[in-house]
Amino acid sequence: MESKRVPSGMETVRVDLGSRSYPILIGHGTLSDFGRAYAARGLGSVAAIVTNPTVARLYLDPVRAGLEAQGVAATVVEIPDGEEFKTLATAGRIYGDLIRAGLDRRGCIVTLGAGAVGHTAGFVAATYLRGIDFVQVPTTLEAQIDASVGGKTGVDHPLGKNMIGAFYQPKLVYIDTETLMTLPRREVVAGMAEVIKHGLIRDEALVRFLESKIEKVADLAIEPEQLVSLIARNCRIKAGVVAADETEAGLREILNYGHTVGHAVEAVTGYRVYKHGEAVMLGMLAAGRIGVIKGFWKPADLQRQNALIEKLGIPSGARTLEADKLIGRMASDKKARDGVIRFVLPETIGRAVTCDTVKRTEIEEGIRYMQERAPEPV
């Protein structure tokens, strides 16, 4: 693959969390410089790169070689690819590999891959030897703009997704947007859901940019500089929210726009039908409609949101989902309080709030609205 390097170097976004602050470095075609960035942060001289076979085949060599060129001894821990391996059993395997490799408190975990790798290995970093340094090298759109930023780490439990975890911040997030070029289009589109979400909750100008360019972005048919700047803009949005509310006691909840219904859609379909971002797209249709019913949002704003989602393609198959089951899942979600289903609702394009007073009939109307717009499966 010919590398189109962004000549002017990398963009930096800082996540401001006092003594736990860290930079997100974003460039294009810059993976082979990772070792230098790692060494410049004074991170451990022994590193464990945790990755999966899909990503290792594509990107392990430059990351490992870059570390070794800086005198860092790099050991590699491969875990199987897939959300179904984001478990305590996989974490247990990683602990074993780290112990066998002799990684001590001065060591550092480098997560190389997508959200599932980052979440699992980040959780291991939070708990191994009561916490060691870790660095995220995310390689999907979703992970570059969301999962790798903000310190959520964890694994799934048979009774619920992300039920075990910790807020634990990395020392560095290193993003090479060129890694997106090998992503299947479906993964890019799923990541775009969170880009739309960021615009709707925090950044009207981003929504306007997407209105003119979303198809090109989803095809990754924009200039590398534009891609770097788009990822940086999204990281900035997320970093700003996380800096204001690291542990989701308030503001951070707005990042869950579209997630109340989205998580329920993922859960009732056994996490096998929809990508997370696809479920979030469906969830934004429902939550957007509820926003209008509650008088928070103008119908014209809902249309603007929907037009973006339609350009990506509304995921099919939601018509057969049962509203009762979806609402049951929402009430038992870890984010519900005493059975009260909390929604994030948009107020204007670029601003959102939480709402605990959405009635069951309003949720049903939101679900109906989402289903009417979702195409039948082909």
Residues that bind ligand GLY (CB under 6 A): 146, 150, 152, 248, 252, 255
Contacts of 242 (CB under 8 A, 6+ apart): 15, 17, 149, 150, 151, 252
Tell me whether residue 139 or residue 234 sits nearer to ligand GLY (CB atom). Answer: 234
Binding flag, residue 87, ligand NAD (CB under 6 A): no
Q: Quote the least distance from Cβ 344 to ligand GLY, whole Å.
A: 11
Tell me whether residue 45 or residue 87 sits nearer to ligand NAD (CB atom). Answer: 87
Report the distance separating Cα 353 and Cα 28, nearest Å: 35
Report the distance separating Cα 322 and Cα 107, nearest Å: 49
Map tokens 């809902």 to a residue: 302
Token digits for 327? Answer: 């609402």
Which H or E run includes 125?
helix 115-127
Token digits for 357? Answer: 């007073």
Scanning 32-40, 52-60, 222-230, 286-294 for contacts with ligand NAD by CB under 6 A, the matching segment is: 52-60
Tell me whether residue 293 or residue 312 sits nearer to ligand NAD (CB atom). Answer: 312
SS3 state at 200: helix
Name residues contacting ligand NAD, limited to 225-264 (CB under 6 A).
Answer: none
**What are the φ and ψ backbone dihedral angles of 70, each rounded to 5 degrees?**
-95, 10
Which position among 28, 64, 93, 152 is part of the footprint of ligand NAD (CB under 6 A)?
152
Binding flag, residue 316, ligand NAD (CB under 6 A): no
Q: Are 293 and 285 in contact (CB under 8 A)?
A: no
Known catalytic residues? Answer: 130, 152, 194, 238, 248, 252, 256, 259, 263, 276
116's contact among ligand GLY, ligand NAD, none, with CB below 5 to 8 A by partner kind, is ligand NAD
Strands of 119-169, DSSP E: 133-138, 152-157, 160-167
Binding flag, residue 276, ligand NAD (CB under 6 A): yes
Binding flag, residue 119, ligand NAD (CB under 6 A): yes
Opening angle at CA 290, ends 289 and 294, nearest 5: 120
Contacts of 334 (CB under 8 A, 6+ apart): 160, 162, 163
Which position among 48, 110, 183, 293 is part of the footprint of ligand NAD (CB under 6 A)?
183
Q: Quote the least distance from Cβ 193 to ligand GLY, whole Å.
A: 11
103's contact among ligand NAD, ligand GLY, none, with CB below 5 to 8 A by partner kind, is none
SS3 state at 329: helix
Which position among 47, 48, 52, 108 is part of the footprint of ligand NAD (CB under 6 A)?
52
DSSP string of 265-303, one letter each residue: HHHHTTTSSS-HHHHHHHHHHHHHHHHHHTTSS-HHHHH
Binding flag, residue 133, ligand NAD (CB under 6 A): no
Give me the numbers of helices (H) and strands (E) for the chain, helices first please. 13, 11
Q: Quote the least distance from Cβ 329 to ligand NAD, whole Å.
A: 16
Which position among 27, 29, 35, 115 is part of the footprint of ligand NAD (CB under 6 A)?
115
DSSP character for 144? I
Which residue's Cβ lies closest to ligand GLY?
255
Binding flag, residue 86, ligand NAD (CB under 6 A): yes
Rule CB under 6 A: which residues touch ligand NAD? 52, 54-55, 58, 81, 83, 86, 113-116, 119, 139-140, 142-143, 146-147, 150, 152, 162, 179, 182-183, 187, 276
